[in-house]
Structure formats: structure tokens, C-alpha cells
Chains A and B, each alone.
Chain A
Amino acid sequence: MEEVSKVQHGIARSGRRRAGAVRLPLSVVIGKIAALLGAVAVLLLFVWPIARLVHLSVAGEAGLTLSIYNELLNQPRFWSALWNTFIIVTGSTLLSVVLGMTVAWLMAYTDLKYKKLLHLIILLCFILPSYVLTLSWSAFMGSQGMLAELLKGLGIPGEPWSMYSYSGIIFVMGIHHFPLVYLFTVDVLRKIPRDLEWASRAGGAGRLKTFRRITFPLAMPGLAAGGLLVFLASLDNFGIPAFLGTPANITVLSTLIYEEIIGFGPAAFARGASLSVILGIVAVIGTMLQWLMLRKSKTSETTMPDYSPRYLLGSRRKWVGGGLWALLLFITAVPLLAMISLSFKRAYGLGLIPSNLTLDNYRYILFENAKVWQSIQNSVLLSVVTLIICMVVGSIFAYIRVRKPSALSKAAELAIALPYTLPGIVFALSMILVWMQPLPGVNGGIYGTIYILYIAYICRFLILQIRASMTAFMQIDPSMEEAARIAGAGMWRKWKTILLPMLLPGIVSGGLLVFLTALTELTVSALLYSSGSQTIGVTIFSFEQAGNTLYSTALSSLIVLLIAVGGTSVLLLQKWLSRKGLGGANK
């Protein structure tokens, strides 16, 4: 607003001085109107639902009341869910941190071979949707699963470890999230200048002491930020406790909210809302802590990562490398194979011999059950539309955010981040509350159709694209753009020939993330789907709940194939773009 009045003041002033030579800065006016509309849209789409949620949790018949919270605190069910959440989140976070830090150290500092491939395999654990990982492990560890058969074959007595337990949930969650810790830490480790370690060694400290007193404290901000992110992700996770906890009667906050809403009954929404507010507050506090940690480690942002190895493993390289490969394959590829092989069986529990194999499960889900085919179409369409809208809107917003930073755009970014910061189940409930009756007494035709899923996906995943695009923009010095304008390029030519070729690889990798996350989404869809608008995740969940493990593993195997195809095609596209970008050399 200040700028508007400044400009107007300027117009008035020059108008007095040189009548007739005034030009109304139309672009400024249009910009202001666009900013205003954007602000309204952000408030309505991102902030209003949360406000409705909080309001519902404290709304009573006569004004505001805390009675719902009171009632909640008196329920043993709530306290046991809280306790379960605490144990599971803490345990899995610890596992992720230890695993992530170890792998990050090996990848950053040692001379292991095939690091690029290892990096991809590490990420695989996180790329696979949590319910696919869960199904894989339960197929692998099941009482008649692959491991059980192996034990029987070897004549070893005993049963495999049951995944439907606290330890099972903690384990699957821990291995699903450890790549997050790895990603955060490996870069921080690489950016610690190696002469700091040399200085410590020259100062008389041994290797161990150097790690303890120099490397570890310097890596701490990255590690803590990664740990907090895992904490948040575990709090948010719905798939793992829903698949593994529900049969064993282990309820956590996210599944408790789901059960409240699904169970309906009087005041179900209000109870769900109050639970959501509690879960949301924990998540927001965690995010703020993580943000503080990251700010602390920002100082090292300008230093370049150092990719050359610092510790030569020598003759131990074979063992360490082999061990790491074995570990990574054991936690992803082997269970995945168990799941895929299960999907080809005639019946659960049969041995893996040719006569027991069949394509019936696939035939059923693809051709005999129209709902499954519908859900695949829904998910693909949902993720493509989400991808396109997020790419366009997210990149435009990222450009404004990076090149013309203002308090308004910063606030908008925070608001847009809200749906992703909050646990999915909380966000989904807030969407129901707003879109059930967008205006008092009006249904609006959004809730109960697939449109609410479009809105929810776009709102939740937009921030992922914005962050990726912002990173891409920040890597381009403003002078690149200025050089284009000096060279006479107008808006269109500047974007087409200079900015987009440089930005596309970054924007596309953000888009890939949005696409894959949307394609395999479960939490939000589980609350928002209705007949005809079920997604792949929801369908797998329904099969699993009904005990149709063969169908759920078949569909999961299909989704793994879809991820592989989608991921590879986007990577190829990215490669093609970057080659096209550099292709000028051949002209």
C-alpha cells in the first residue's frame, strides 16, 4: 500500500510539473490488483480451513467452550493413543537418525564405490509410499511369508517377527524416514571444510576425538533439523499405523482422528477437530524448532560441498561397501520382491512354485473390478492436474518470492506451507469442514465429489513445487536476467530463451516430487474420498481392511511399476531438457 501511495504521489507531483507528459504506470496498478486477489485466495484456501477447524473445536451452544477438550482429557482412549504416538514417534525417529547419520557419514567421507547408485537406493525407501513398504514387510515377515518359508526350509524352528506390533511399526517407520535424515546430513557433512579436521588433528586430537569435538558438533544443526523433520513425518504418517496398528489394536493420534470421523455419530467432527488441534499444535511447534535449527546452519550455505573422500577404507572397503549394499537391499528390495511374488499367487500361504502362480489377481483388479480401474484413472488424473497447476502457479509465486521479496509474499509462503506442515489427517478434516458448506446453508457440490480432492491435493502439495522452484530461481544470479533485458529482450523473449532453459531442470524435479506424492497419496484421500472418487491409496487400504491381501499386493505392485515409469520418464525428460539447454554448442 505504501508503494501505491508513493507512486500516486509521484504522478501527482510530476503532473503539476509537466502537464501532458504523465504516463499512468498501468503495470503497477495491475500488479497491485493481482497481489490483492492473490492474498484473498491464499486466505480463503489456506488459512480459512484451519480457522474453521480451531473454531469448531471450541464452539459450544453458548459461545466458546473448552468442554470438548475436557471430555477428551477424561478418555482413556485418548491417553493411550497419545502414549502410543509418543513411543512410536520417538522410537522410529531414533532409528532414522542413527541409520541416516551412519549412511550419511559413509557417503560423505569415505571412498565407497558406486555412490550415485547407492544414493538412489537410499532414496528408494522414502520414494515408495509408506503403505507399499508396509505391505512388503508384512508379506516378507508374515506367518506364511517368504522368511517363514525360508526358516522352514532350513529347518530352523521359530516364527518370523510380527510386523503387527509396536516394534514392527517403529521399524517400518524408521526405515521409511531415514533417507530424510540422510539428505539433510550428507550435505552438511560435505560442507564442513576438511581443514577444520586437519587443524584438530594437527592440534593433537585423535580421529575419534576430532569426530566428537569437531565434526559432530558442526553436523549437529543438519542432523537436528533432519531429526525434527522425521519426527514431524512420523506424526503425520497414517499408512503405517493404519495398516499395522489397527489389526493389533494399536491406535495413534492420526488413526484415532480417522476412526472418529469415519465412525461419525454425534459430535464426531468436534472431537476430531479438538484432536486435530492438539496434533496440529505439536506439528507447528516441531516445524518452528526445525526452522530455527536450519537458520543456525544457514551460515554454511555459501561454502561449496566437498565431494572427494576424506577417509580411505583401504582393504575394508569391500566389507563396508558390501555391508551397506546388503543392508539397503534387505530393507527395500527383498521385502518388495516378497510382496510382488505374493501378488502372483493363487492363495495366501502357498509356496512359490510354478503351479501356484497366476495372473488372476491382476486380471481381477484391472478388468473385473471397475472400481479399481476407476481409482487408477482418478489418481493419474488427479496427479497430472495437480502437477500442472502446481508447476505454473508455484513457479510464478517462487519468482515473485525470490526476485521481489516483500512481507506480503513471505506471509503468503507461510500460509501456503500450512497444509503440508499440518498432519494430512488434520488438513483433510479442515477441508471437510470448509467445503461441506462453503457458505452457510449452501452445499456447493464440492464435498462428496472428486473436486474436493483436486482442491486438497493442490493446496497440500503446492508448497513442494514452490520450494523446488525457489531453489531453481535462487541459483540464477539476477544479473543473468538483467543481461537479457540490456540485450533488448522483452518479457516473452527473456523467459523463453534465457530463464526457462536455465530453470526447467529444477522446476521439473519439483514437479516430479509433486506428481509422485499425489499419485500415491493415502491420508488426505482416505478422509475425503467418496463413491466414484476413490484413489489408488484408498483402494489398497480398502482391500487390506477387507483382508484381500492378494489384491492389495497386486495393486501395490502396479503402483511400484507406475512410480518406476513416471520417475524414469521425468528423469529422462529432465536429461533431454538439460541436453537441449546445452545443445547450443552443436549449432
Chain B
Amino acid sequence: MSIAIKEVTKSFGSFQALKALNLTLASGEFTAILGPSGCGKTTLLRMLAGFEQPSGGEIQMNGKLVASSSFAIPPERRRIGMVFQAFALWPHMNVAEHVRFPIRSHRETPAHIRDNEQEHVERVLAMVGLSKLAARMPHELSGGQKQRVAIARAIAPSPSLLLMDEPLSSLDAMLRMDMRREIQSVHRQTGTAIVYVTHDQGEALAMADRIIVMKDGEIEQAGTPQDIYLRPNTEFVAKFVSKANLVQGRWEQNHFIPRAAASELKWYGGEVSTHFKQTGAYPVRPDQFVLGDALEEGIKGEVVNVQFQGKEFHYDIRADKEQWEVISPRAFRMNEHVTLALPV
């Protein structure tokens, strides 16, 4: 399903949750909406679902108007599936009943599914690895299994759009990694468009075809994961997604001269966005820096914190009156003097 969001605004009382949002989502695409809490990403998702109505603008799905400030198709009449943050399983229904429920409820469930209901339920349960648990009740399931039920319920009537509201945030770290694969495989097998809301940039980068970064009810940047990660357009995206350090200095065309450089130090930055060239900063990711002995060429700094992470060290380096995060395979001690370089 293709979705067009045109000049959509939403306000709750005097608080403006969304400010004139414009966005198109292609059919079959996995879109991640990424942002900190309160950025409006959940409001946007709930609007796509039909639980919120826009205060202005309109939303179209497949070219058909589904919501404006005076009109809204209710959630039950949109062909969508949704996975909720805290699973939202019904305590009085078993796993198979959860999957069967939307097949029977949705008016537009395709006839081939409706006619072969039992078969389809089994197929969906097999897809999420729950075949053996079909008769279990929600309270007899682990967190990961609950989330699989929630996904199975959402994809059962073969919706043309699947909404996911931070679906992994109620799970522990190990399980989250497994579920990422699960969700990717569901996306491959169903070919459904997915809109996935998260505050975890790792999830967005790992799974999405396209990432929309939001802040304060506006879109900061939209693009492929590589675009967003490697070529941030704003300070917020550089910090929030790439965890970049903003090194201050001045630009001479495609070359950057750090403020703290001792001599004729120049960093090449052809791909850095024009926004940073105008503000005189260079966003450097922790893994981009190369850490060297005090005598090598680069910006001088001092180690103020070390964390050993197995294959590498995470350092906090004080340099240029600021504190930067740097990742390096080389071992340095606390308070040791180092230099920071940026190889091209």
C-alpha cells in the first residue's frame, strides 16, 4: 500500500505534536520512524492506524482519502495490522484464536484466506514458529512468544500495511536480536509495507529500507540507513543516529581545519552536508577517529575514561575543551596524552 501524508498537523490542546508533515511511503517498503520520546512518532503511527484524527492536512492510502480534520475511516475499516508495544494479547483467548479473530472480523479478508481458514492459521503460526503452541493461553507464554503471537495476529488477514509500535522494547537484549531477524523474515515472506516506530537507532539501521528521523513533531531527515548514518544533515541526526562528535573549526571548500589543530592540519570532507559547512563543524563518528601516541600528528587530547569492550576500547577523550567519544583497538591508560587523527 502506498501512503501519502500531506501537510498533516496534530495538536493536543496547546501542544503541537505534529507540524505540517509531508511524507510518502512506497508500497512494500520497510520504513522506520526514529526519534526520541515526545518527537511525535507514536502520534504519527496512531494516525495511520486511525486512533487519532489529524487536526489539519490529509492522509491518503492507495490514492484514497482515509483521514482529514473532518473525516476519518475508523481503524477497523482500514486494511492494516498492528503490533503493540506491550503485546496487547487478550487474556481469555488462546494463540490460535488470536490469529483467527482478525480473519473473521475484517470485512476485506481475501476470500482464499477466509475459505481455508484453518490452513491459513497454521501457515501463519508456522511462519512465526508457534505451530506447537497453538492451544496455549497468553499467560503460559514467554515474552518472545507473546510478541510472535502479536505479529501473527497482525499479519493473519494479510493486511496491506503493518504498523509496529516499538515492538521490541518490552523484550530483553538477547531476545531483541532474534526478533529483528523474525520481523525481517516476516517482511520478506509477506511483502507487506511496514511502518516501524522506534527510539533505538540500531533497530532502525538494521531492518529498515528507509529511515525517517523525527524531532519535535518535524522530520529532521529521511533516507536510506546508509544515508542517515554516513551523511547526517543536521546536528541532531549526527548525534542521535551516528553518535558523532561535532568538531568545531572552519571549512575551505571541501577541507576542514579544526579549531584545535596545532599546525597545518586539514581533514577532507567532500561528503559532509552543506549544513555543517555553513556552521563550521565536522561530525566525526567515534569509529572514524584514529587514536595515536602523543607525538603523532593530530589534535592533542587526554584520556579521561576507558571502557574495555572485548575487541576494542571505548574512550572519553578531553580535547579542544570538549569531551569526545572515540573507539579504538589500541590500549591507552587513564590520563595518557593522545592525538586524534582522521584518515581519509
Contacts and interface: CB of A to CB of B under 8 A. Distances in A.
Interface in A548-587: 581-582, 584-585, 587
Interface string B101-143: 1100111010000000000000000000000000111000000
A582 B106 contact: no
A268 interface: no
B97 A487 contact: no
A489 B86 CA distance: 20
Nearest to A578: B92
Max chain B CB contacts within 10 Å: which of A11, A21, A479, A488? A488
A7 B84 contact: no
A497 B101 CA distance: 9
A220 B106 CA distance: 52
Contacts of B107: 488
Contacts of A480: 88, 90
A501 B101 CA distance: 15
A22 B86 CA distance: 37
B65 interface: yes
B81 interface: yes
Contact of A582 (B50, B75, B137, B163): B137
A14 B90 contact: no
Interface in A164-187: none
A440 interface: no
Contacts of B206: none
A438 to B, nearest CB: 41
B102 A584 contact: no
Given A487-B106, A585-B137, A14 B71 contact: yes
Given A10-B69, A477-B86, A483-B82, A488 B94 contact: no
Contacts of B257: none
A44 to B, nearest CB: 32
A254 to B, nearest CB: 45
B168 interface: no
Max chain B CB contacts within 10 Å: which of A13, A485, A493? A485
Contact of B92 (A479, A482, A486, A501): A501
Interface size of A as a range? 20 to 34
B140 to A, nearest CB: 8
B90 A25 contact: no
A124 interface: no
B86 A479 contact: yes
A488 B105 contact: yes
A14 B106 CA distance: 30
Given A7-B70, A486-B82, A488-B157, A585 B94 contact: yes
Interface string B173-217: 000000000000000000000000000000000000000000000
Nearest to A580: B92
A498 B102 CA distance: 12
B76 A486 contact: yes
Contacts of A7: 70
A337 B154 CA distance: 60
Contacts of A25: 70
A490 interface: yes
Max chain A CB contacts within 10 Å: which of B69, B81, B137? B69
Nearest to B106: A488
A399 B88 CA distance: 19
B80 A486 contact: yes
B-side interface mostly? loop
Given A483-B88, A582-B137, A488 B102 contact: yes
Contacts of B270: none
B69 A585 contact: no
Interface in A1-54: 7, 10-11, 13-15, 21-23, 25
A485 B76 contact: yes
A505 to B, nearest CB: 11
A21 B74 CA distance: 17
A423 to B, nearest CB: 40
A573 to B, nearest CB: 16
A525 B169 CA distance: 56
A502 interface: yes
A479 B84 contact: yes
Nearest to B65: A21
Contacts of A11: 70
Contacts of B343: none
A406 to B, nearest CB: 13
A486 B93 contact: no
Nearest to A491: B76
Nearest to B92: A581
B92 A584 contact: yes
Nearest to B81: A486
A37 B138 CA distance: 42
B71 A21 contact: yes
B10 interface: no
A14 B70 contact: yes
A338 B105 CA distance: 60
B61 interface: no
B134 to A, nearest CB: 10
Contacts of B41: none
Given A485-B75, A490-B76, A585-B135, A14 B68 contact: yes
B69 A584 contact: no
B137 A489 contact: no
B310 interface: no
Contact of B101 (A13, A21, A489, A582): A489
A337 B12 CA distance: 62
Nearest to A486: B82
B85 A479 contact: yes
Nearest to A487: B102
Interface string B5-28: 000000000000000000000000
B285 to A, nearest CB: 37
B177 to A, nearest CB: 25
A10 B86 contact: no
A319 to B, nearest CB: 39
B105 A489 contact: yes
Interface string B50-68: 1100000000000001001
Contacts of B136: 585
Nearest to A11: B70
Given A501-B92, A584-B93, A585-B94, A488 B85 contact: no
B97 A584 contact: yes
A584 B75 contact: no
B49 interface: yes
A231 to B, nearest CB: 39
10 contacts: A21-B71, A22-B70, A477-B86, A477-B88, A483-B82, A488-B157, A489-B101, A581-B91, A584-B137, A587-B94
Given A487-B102, A487-B105, A584-B97, 8 more contacts: A11-B70, A479-B85, A480-B90, A485-B51, A485-B76, A488-B76, A584-B137, A585-B137
Interface of B: 49-51, 65, 68-71, 74-77, 80-82, 84-86, 88-94, 97, 101-102, 105-107, 109, 135-137, 153-154, 157, 163
The 9 closest A-B pairs by CB, nearest first: A488-B106, A487-B102, A488-B105, A479-B88, A581-B92, A483-B88, A10-B70, A14-B70, A485-B75
